[in-house]
Structure 1
Amino acid sequence: MTNATPTAQLSAAGVSIWLDDLSRERLSSGSLQKLIDEKNVVGVTTNPSIFQAAITSGNDYDAAIAEQAAKGASVEEAIFEITTTDVADACDLFAPIAVATNGVDGRVSIEVDPRLAWDTEGTIAEAKNLYKKVDKDNVLIKIPATLEGLAAITSTLGEGISVNVTLIFSLERYRAVINAFQAGLKLAKENGHDLSKIHSVASFFVSRVDTEIDKRLDAIGTEEAKALKGKAGVANARLAFELYEELFSTERWAVLAEAGARPQRPLWASTGVKDPAYPDTLYVTELAAKGIVNTMPEKTLDATFDHGVVTGDTIAGTYEEAKKVLSALEGLGVSYNDVVAQLETEGLDKFVASWKELLADVEGALASARKAS
């Protein structure tokens, strides 16, 4: 390991590196393949903001939009066609990795329409539609971990569809997500599905926790408050890993594992550092453990590859210290429950806003394409 790149060291430590980005340009130019070959990338995650940025910048989607316009497609139909095509093509690119890892990696995620985050039945229907349209074994359907999303997660897994549960901020909600996952596998077994073919990750958001809590600590302004800045995100994620270890060593899980089930891996999302005062690899090197996924924006991936210091497992043995961090925050009047509730609301609002921007931009592009023809 000493002579390997930091991303190779991270991979050797049992961390799966996924890229938090996708675009047609990445696929056509070969830049995504280069990240696979050189920087140990073994999967991709997408979200509404990523697609909004990809489709509305440059000319890579002009032909696809013109084709949809010629077909008389609605804006929703056009976006559905374009995004599922990109994801299917990315699934093909990652197929060799999926085969080599028995489906654990080589995964590409696509999210249900974020406007359905509070609609259980609508989410289930959209998840099935996306899965059927992409039609690749290595796709993951992303479902937000809202209260309404929990039942949708169970139902979707029960259909034999692999799921990426996204927008998790709190430990309490993460516990509910794991319960929904295990209930989904039990349902899948009852429905006759092969549990070994069903995969899932639980996307626990990291940097946004520090952004919000640091803001509150700055408002308090004491030396004690300042000393806690930049510690909550890592502490929260480490305690999530403790919860993962706890709930995947129960008798309930043992029964599912005996039937071929694979654990739902923790995935660290939002791992780009928002405060330049912090090391740009903070949410990578401080959250390394065997069996987790870290999905990184390219800037964070490049920083890790360039100068990340990988020292193996940095989560084991940290739980008591992590609990002290959260306890100290509560002692200063920073409410954990208030913070995580606010972050979930803001995260969903951001994705809905990005989706609406995308709808408006593609609507305009379709209209222009129809005029041009």
Structure 2
Amino acid sequence: MTPAKPLAVFFNCLTVLFFLGSGVTIAADTIAAEQLKNYQLGLSDARPAEAVTLAPVIGRWTFAPGSPLTIAHPFEHSKIDVLVGNSQYLDKGTQVATISGPSVSHFYHRLNIIEQEFQVAEQRYQSNQQLFKDNAISAEQWQQTLADFLKLADQYHETQVVAERFQQMGEDRAAFTMPADGIWQLADEPGVLGTVLPKNSLRIGARVPQQLVDHVVALTLSDKQYAVSFRDKNAQNGLVTLWSEPAYDDSWQINQILSVQPSITIEGALHIPAGALTSLAGQPTVFIARNDEFRPVAVDIVAQHSDFYVVVPQQAFDGQLVTESIGALKGIYSDGEQ
């Protein structure tokens, strides 16, 4: 049979997924082995199809939603010298920019004060907590202690996050280094130095029909499979974007369009040799050999390749496939039906 074109296979898969078992029912009459004693019959085992590769769809190599890390800075009216190119891939620890000006020394002076205030507040919190348990202070006093401590704890945490991202290099000079491997992008926004797009957030996004989403387990590109990690919550025009596991290739450019093939799993799908498939009453059919008898089993075609098919049987599949003299079997069966 002539191999199906990729697009035809794709829509063939849609048909199977949602109209499985909708073909013509084939009677389960059997043919005795003695009726075929003058024919040479080839037999083969059908093997489970763990995954079925569909026709190519458009994919894009980009950053998954919500992945950029925004680098805010508190250094107002400071001079910023960027040392690297924009949209450049950098290793963790690479120095990206230096910041200089009075606001740098002001920030680190304020950081020192907040650290001291937090230590005092933490000691007061622990002391008053015990006093409250011993009924030595009122509930109002304990509540005020707790409120003061939580306020300072928030301030301390915010300044520590900034301090961990910037290294003081002098009285009025600091540097920012990459917190992770990824792409650096300079921002044109007050109070924001830029964004870091972590390498592990680079993924392949591909849009597939909403009906297929629950079946797609991987995206295949150049014989390499990338497992599907998650998907967008909402569909657009009947399509949902699936996101692969982290993917990286030195030859790719950010937002590059790629041709990818979704791989799906279908319960009960089997690989069969191309020579085993025939048709009865317009229904794709295979013949099964068991206990010196042959019987037809109707199947639904999931995918078609040059030398094999992926099919789903419509009834029990409990024998070996007949791969030779299929025409003779079909003729004998059809004569018996008349």
Same fold (TM over 0.5): no
Structure with more of its chain in strand, by fraction: 2
TM-score normalised over the length of structure 1: 0.20
* Structure showing greater relative contact order (alpha-carbon pairs closer than 8 Å, 6 or more residues apart): 2
TM-score normalised over the length of structure 2: 0.22
When Rg is computed on C-alpha atoms for both structures, the one with the higher figure is 2
Structure with more of its chain in helix, by fraction: 1
